[in-house]
Structure 1
Amino acid sequence: MSDSMEEKATKELILPPSERSSEDVELPPEGGTKAWLTVFGGWLTVFATFGYVNAFGVYQDLYTRSGAASAERISWIGSTQIFFLIGMGLPSGKLFDMGYFRSTMIVGSVLYVFSMFMLSLAHPDKYYQIFLSQGLGMGIGSGLLYVPAMSIQAHHWHKRRPMAMGIVITGTSFGGVVYPIMLNQLIHGKTGFAWGVRASAFLSMGLLFIAYFMMFPGPPKPKASIPSFKILLTDAPYMFAIIGSFVAFLGFFFPYFYLQLYAILKGVDSTLAFYTLAIMNTSSIFGRTLPNLLAERIGIFNTLVPITAITGILVFAVFGITEAAGTVVFAILYGFFSGSFLSLLPPLAASLARDASEIGVRMGFAFFVAAFGCLVGGPINGTILGPTFNWSKPIVFSGVTLLGGAGLIFIARIFQQKRTMSQRI
């Protein structure tokens, strides 16, 4: 029997054109109670992990102005944390595909929360203590959580997968609102650094505990052949999309790391500057949902390419920020479009998988490569910023890399389009 129109549309989203056939894959159920609970559990996980990373600008400002180290060295802490958050997707994605979702979540949660408590015991002016606990420990722990929490959504959704993943990743935005406000108020208030960090650790521990019981892996599936790295490396649309993400990430986190410090040094009231990260992440809530709904209609590539380009153009607008109003407007716009960029990457990687059994590996490898952009991007910006705070250099670097990433993702779209045309012929 021939496929229905709905089944064909579904396979257009999940499989690359050269691999589609009605026998390739048994599609997962579309929604249901367990699916929505899994979305909620994933949202809590992302809130506590990626949402916390989005608050690193608070620590960048604190450590820099306390004289713990140069802006470059401090940025290595945040970039290392982000690198492991995303880059650990390679082993955690493989473990997920092998059926070790529960075990991976337990190990990741324990390591992440333990490292956060260790950070509360560190001295803010002791660089090695901060790097080990916040950069390595929290980074590796969160990396064991992030990709499985995203990949498990594929067990419950197919046609509406971009929507489901978009909802999950809004946890990044909500966490990026709550944690900066919480940390700024506690650390710079009477509570102080140690108990401010501990309070955030207790919150994260509670969220991850609830999340563990909210997520439900799908039923065991017959083992499918996992693609070799040779197959992945010769998949042109997939590789150009990955390389484009890597290049874009070189400049992507510049505002998240430096906007609070930039605003304070430009004379913006410190109270307002403390809320710039929260404003940016509040705006990104809409950016992580609306474009995903658009992607269901016009395609992920057609949505992601212009959004990445606009994000790069917005970085150049930092040149015009000289007062509070400009800071707020930039935070709103950059939050929306940068949130869109992040929310579309997971469904993009999933859409290039041959079937649901290899989504974890595809997403993990993609995030692993892109993570190197996160690792070196922050320190490069810190280096070219220098002790004299020459802001023009990191602004140009970040804007150009984001535009370059958009160009490479556009090339990936061209290859994908050629593959589609050859399949039709």
Structure 2
Amino acid sequence: MHRAASRASCSLPEEAYAYTAAIGPKLHTFTEQRHDAPKSNHPPPNGGPVAWLQVLAGHLVVFNTWGYANSFGIFQAYYASSLSLPASTISWVGSVQVFLIFFIGSVSGRAFDTGYYRPVLWIGCAMQIVAVFVTSLCTKYWQVFLAQGVCQGLGNGLIFCPTIASVSTYFTTKRTIAISTAASGAATGGIVFPVIAEKLLPRIGFPWTVRVMGFVVLVNAAIVASTTRTRLPPHKTGRIVELAAFGELPYLLFTVSMFFTLWATYFAYYYVRPYALDNLHVSQATSYSILLIFNAVGIPGRIIPALLADRYFGAITVLIPVIFLAGLSVYIWHSVQSLASDIVWIVFLGFFGASIQGLFPSTLASLTQDLSKSGTRIGMVFTIISIPCLTGPPLAGRLIQVGDGNYIGAQLWGGTCLLLGCGILFAARVASMGWRWKPAEQ
């Protein structure tokens, strides 16, 4: 792998489905006949074997979606070298993949609410598996874009939002820790896939390295398919988009807050490794270690704030200082001038960046009192934030390019977006809870 290509690499951090008239009736018939789980309108169990199995399934789903996306920094280095294309062109593959995870959230979330979770899950898992194995055969940019960008993104999008919504229906008092535990699959996958690439690429080449990843995705998908169960009966009435939700001030402010927050969050995931290579002049091996540390601290970054949220303060109250500290971390990034300071910095930003990704779905779920609408309402926000997720990293890259390789402009933009998102989220909290320090007992 050439040095120049490695410097261009990046790391990504964590929905789409439409039923055609031809298959809709078949899926409806199948839904009425399936017996995957007894449906209940009783209060969520907040634990028990079935509930925690859904958390395990959610963890593996996020492992296969965001964990694989987190590995794109390794792929970009290889593509830049083998396809002889600029990093900005290659990066659109990863950006489109993340964009699609969120963009079709309204449709796939609504499919969950109406009882089509299992068919959607199977189709999404199949698309993921096919995309990975087809990627191993790609030799041209357009092939990579369609396989890893479009097909992988669609498969990821089909299963991500419904799975988060499904986990949320099993919990109230433990919802934040449950969703954050599921979301930590992004960290475990973000460790496993880069290690596979680092160890196997020099030995067995790109095609078989990607196929090994494909077998990991396949095994995870098999476990997910055998363990997922929906708890609530289908909610047949309703729309894909519930515009009335935006009439609720906390929901509206939360959506705006997450737009600015996630506009900048993934900037660091793209450029933490290139910054170390270009500005600190570390070796490729060290840059891989930096990437692994950045992803590894995401595990406690998702779990510890979730515990604080569930036991003491509530998700939205914990998320506010998390975003604030992430913004400060991006602001001070320009002062990192040595490997030692870089490691300290990536531990902090890796922790708080992962906390944002772990807490924002559970915070969003907490704003929905009617659990039968959780898929739709989560999906709507996912669709909206797909736009900043698509445009944020390329915008940061453009700022770096305009600065002739200097990161200060992008760092100031990223930190400002995060602090702005923090301020708006504080307003959402006041609108939702008033000035209470703790949420009301559930």
TM-score (norm. length: structure 2): 0.84
Alignment counterpart, residue 269 of structure 2, candidates 240, 244, 256 = 256
Partner of 1:144: 158
Deviation, 1:219, is 4.7
Matches within 5 A, 1:113-128: 113-123=129-139, 126-128=140-142
Q: 5+ unaligned residues in a row in structure 2: which ranges? A: 1-40
* Secondary structure of the corresponding residue to residue 191 of structure 1: helix
Percent identity, aligned pairs only? 32
Contact 1:108 1:145 in 2 (8 A): yes
Partner of 1:216: 229
Q: 5+ unaligned residues in a row in structure 1: which ranges? A: 1-24
Query: Bigger shift: 345-354 or 91-100?
Result: 345-354
Q: Does 1:396 align with 2:412?
A: yes
CA separation in 1, counterparts of 2:338 and 2:79? 24
Contact 1:90 1:365 in 2 (8 A): yes
Deviation, 1:313, is 1.1
* Secondary structure of the corresponding residue to residue 264 of structure 2: helix
Deviation, 1:75, is 2.2
Partner of 1:15: none
CA separation in 2, counterparts of 1:292 and 1:400? 25
CA separation in 2, counterparts of 1:68 and 1:380? 22
Contact 1:268 1:323 in 2 (8 A): no
Deviation, 1:132, is 1.3
Residues 110 and 192 (structure 1), Cα distance of their counterparts in 2 relative to 1, 3 Å cut: same
Q: Does 1:326 align with 2:341?
A: yes
Q: Does 1:207 align with 2:220?
A: yes
* Secondary structure of the corresponding residue to residue 121 of structure 1: coil
Contact 1:79 1:377 in 2 (8 A): no
CA separation in 2, counterparts of 1:301 and 1:317? 25
Name the aligned partner's letter for residue 145 of structure 1: I
CA separation in 2, counterparts of 1:61 and 1:234? 45
Contact 1:224 1:357 in 2 (8 A): no
Contact 1:107 1:141 in 2 (8 A): yes
Name the aligned partner's letter for residue 260 of structure 1: R
Name the aligned partner's letter for residue 327 of structure 1: D
Partner of 1:234: 247
Contact 1:178 1:278 in 2 (8 A): no
Partner of 2:8: none
Deviation, 1:225, is 5.2
CA separation in 1, counterparts of 2:241 and 2:186? 32
Query: Bigger shift: 127-136 or 108-117?
Result: 127-136
Residues 281 and 305 (structure 1), Cα distance of their counterparts in 2 relative to 1, 3 Å cut: same
Alignment counterpart, residue 318 of structure 2, candidates 286, 294, 303 = 303
Partner of 1:9: none
Query: Bigger shift: 67-76 or 252-261?
Result: 67-76
Contact 2:110 2:239 in 1 (8 A): no
Residues 31 and 58 (structure 1), Cα distance of their counterparts in 2 relative to 1, 3 Å cut: same
Contact 1:288 1:339 in 2 (8 A): yes
Note the aligned Cα RMSD (angstroms). 2.2
* Secondary structure of the corresponding residue to residue 288 of structure 1: helix
Alignment counterpart, residue 193 of structure 2, candidates 147, 162, 179 = 179
Deviation per CA, 1:231-256: give whole Å up to 9, x if none.
12222111111111111111111221
Deviation per CA, 1:242-275: give whole Å up to 9, x if none.
1111111111112211211221123112211012
CA separation in 1, counterparts of 2:435 and 2:328? 30
Partner of 2:67: 51
Name the aligned partner's letter for residue 140 of structure 1: L
Partner of 2:50: 34
CA separation in 2, counterparts of 1:49 and 1:234? 32
* Secondary structure of the corresponding residue to residue 253 of structure 1: helix
